[in-house]
Structure 1
Amino acid sequence: MEAIYTEIRIALYAIWRMRWLALAVAWGFCLIGWVMVMRVPAAYESSARISVQVKSLLADGSEGDVQKGIDRVRQSLTSTEILKKVVRTVSNGERPLTSSEALSLIGALRGGISITAQGEDLLEIKTRISLKGISEQQTAFIVRNVTQKLIDIFVQENLVGNRANNAETLDFLEQELARRAKELADVDRRRAQIVQETMGSLPGSGSLEQRMDAARNEMMTIESSLMSARSSLAAMNGQIAATPAQIPAGGAMGAVDSIDQRIGQLEGQLSEAVSRGWTEKHPDVIAIRAQLGQLRAERARGGTRSVPMAPNPVYVSIRSMQAERQGNVAALEARKAQLTGDVTRIAQRQLTAPGSQIDQSRLDRDYDVLREQYNKLLGQRESAKLRADASGKTAGARFRVIDQPSLPRQPAAPNRTFLLTGVLVAGVVVGAGVAFAKSQLASVYTTTQQLAKASGLPVLGSISEVITSETRAVRRKQMMWFSSAAAGLPGMFMLLMLIEFIKRIMVS
């Protein structure tokens, strides 16, 4: 922190040593800047607001069309004929304008007129003028008179409500709609012919690619469902193989279920499984053969089973569920076979009719474009009819001046207060910068540390300056001169600010 403080002191001392140079540069910079600022002609601005049916008269309601209508009005107001008419009737508050002043005013008005929409039914007309060779008071009167004249012309000539074009617009839209409708019918007829030639009896809708994608997607779904159905059927078969068809009847007497009968039932189930194509490694086949082995071993030992038997309700329920699963698998396999055939036919049609497919895609694109254009024209025709009906029921465009053109009290540009202050600050900064740069070029060392660092030798000491009374008197006089010259800079700034303040009072 101490090093930073020391560097700041050294920099300030360097500027102080070159204070006369800094003051001269600041004076020169400020004088040039202030002269340029004061020579810039003041631009005055006057505005007025008019109530007008913007949406119904300028456009069909959309933001883009409203802006186009406003641009059209602005181009009309800034045309050479309108500007000449405005200038001929404008005065500066004391006398009519001369020819040179009129030409200068026309040039300023071409880029100084702006029209903006405020809300739905308000237009703001704003005029900004900057003229050379004319006092600011006269410029303020001129800009107010120009704005008033523009409003008068705006209302008289009904620039926004051009009802004469409504009939022509409707005729044009009707012709375009008829032409687009004929083109749509032709494209529709050609599309139907191509569809009949290329699609034929193919399933689905859309182009060949779309139908192929739909068939393949459905095929993937069917395959997934078929795998799930087969897995469910296999599980059901396993359950029915492990479930006996009959169970002992509780409390029943007299019925005898021999081992031979049980063996016969199991052999029948095994035959049914083999007929279905199950291999020896199938879990149901393994379970049936295990039960047969047990029963045959028991019969070899001479055992019998004399137990009353009854149908097993679980076995009956599982058999019904098995039949349902088998039907589902059969339906899915049939649908898969059908989709396989459809995919094959579509692929063959794609190979045999590539030209028709290209024509179909092109016609589909043309049809979409034509339909979009037709719908847009249809909406524009309805909007034009509404505008025509509204114009026919009214006696022209309806205007009402909300805010009369104002007489500007102060210039809209430039901001001389800000610019004069900026020039003063910039002059001081530039003067100090030049003085500091000049001091860095001189081989003068302010402190012993600077000298030691520059020479690379140790500094044994320093000798203070001895100021005599005569030297002190001379320096005091120089300081008075410097203070007076430095005080003149803000004094000149205050004088220019006073002049600017007086100008504003004279305008108001």
Structure 2
Amino acid sequence: MNQVFEELQAALHSAWHRRWLVLAVAWGVCVLGWLAVAMIPNTYESKARVFVQLDDVLSQQIGIANAGKGEIERVRKTLASAVNLEKVVRSTRLGEGVTSPGQMERAVGGLAEKVKVVSTEDNLIEITAQIGQSSLSDAQNAALAQDVVQKMIDIFREENIAGSRGEVAETIVFLDQQLEARKRDLEAAEQRRLAFEAENPELIGGTATLSTRLQQLRTEMRGIDADLAAAQSALAAINGQIAGTPRTLVTAGDGGGARGALMQARSQLAGMQARGLTDNHPDVAALQRQIQLLERQAASEGPNASGSANPAYSSLVAIRAERDANVQALMARKAALQADLTGMMASQADEPAVAAEANRISRDYEVLKTKYDELLQDREEMQLRGQVESERSSFSFEVIDPPTTPRAPAAPNRPILLIGVLILGIGAGIGAAFALGQVRSTFATGAKLERSLGLPLVGTISHTLTDAGRALARKRMKLFAGGCASLVGMCVLLLAVEFVQVGMVG
């Protein structure tokens, strides 16, 4: 610790012993530093906040509620693009003297580093611009910063109000052109399909449709077979009923009505047998015994018995004719379906190239028609969107904090820089004196001399001055104090000038 203290004491002694060198270096560094600080132009910052809100009930109803919000977000992200910044450069003083594309690119690149567009909240957008041109005065730089921010606001408004409508109109024109081209292609494909179907009617719709029709014919054939079987069964049943039904009804004469009863009993027996009853059934056996009894009675019955037409028999004959006609119609329908099915299968097997052509024509037509319908739907939605944005869109655009002319520079912090240069100059002077003391072989203290030589130190001789020497020393001290005061006074003067200039902006 004592050694450190001695080193510090030696450094201070060396600096004080060479105080004129410290003052000269401090003056040189400060003058150069203050000149460099003076060459830095003041940068003035102008800031504005914009409130944007979209609230359109009709847009929400038709499903395009987020379209406007997305458009505003896109414009916010591209507001600081090269195209928009070039508009700012051309419409402000930044464009003065810009005559070549290279100069414009440099101007736009420099402005891009000084402009910021950020979203502080969902509906708040903050636009900031920092301008510091060395060729302009402070007041001109402050006014230019305000102009840049104002122009950015104007571009933002134009891009969201007029730009969106222009893009919708351009999109509708493009969709109309695409629809017209698709319409011509669709009409040509339709003509090719009609011509092919006229030559090959069995392949209308392609092989997929042909396969579907074959499947339908097979299904219909199975249905016809089932209906034909049911009709034939019904015809057989009515034939059985007719076989057991007498054509005439016998009316009993003087000898009784045994013949009529016999015919009715035989009819009942035939009905039982038609239902599947065997001779062993009790009812069948009883009816057979009754028939035998009636046969003996009918043999003894007199010849005066008479008969009339049986209406049940006539009705059964009419039903049989109807069912027979139904069977014949089903058989004819089955034959026709079988012929169609055979012809389609032959066409599908014998002409694969024609079937492939049918598939290609049908596929091309369906693809073109689907694309045409999609474009037509997109065109209608875009037209509706354009009408909503033009007539009903509630676009709220409000500048909450308008750009004002800045009164104080945002950068650099010149007072801090001036004071920092002063401290740096003093430090440089002390450092120069200390470095010179290290180069020369001198010892500031007796202890340091004793350690360096390794010999005991007997004593030290103090510096004694005469009256003339003391007067000269006081005079030099006054000059040194004046030099130090002048250096500090120069710094204070520069600070005062800076504050005066800042107060005169605007």
Q: TM-score, length-normalised on structure 1?
A: 0.48
Query: Which structure is larger by alpha-carbon Rg, 1 or 2?
Result: 2
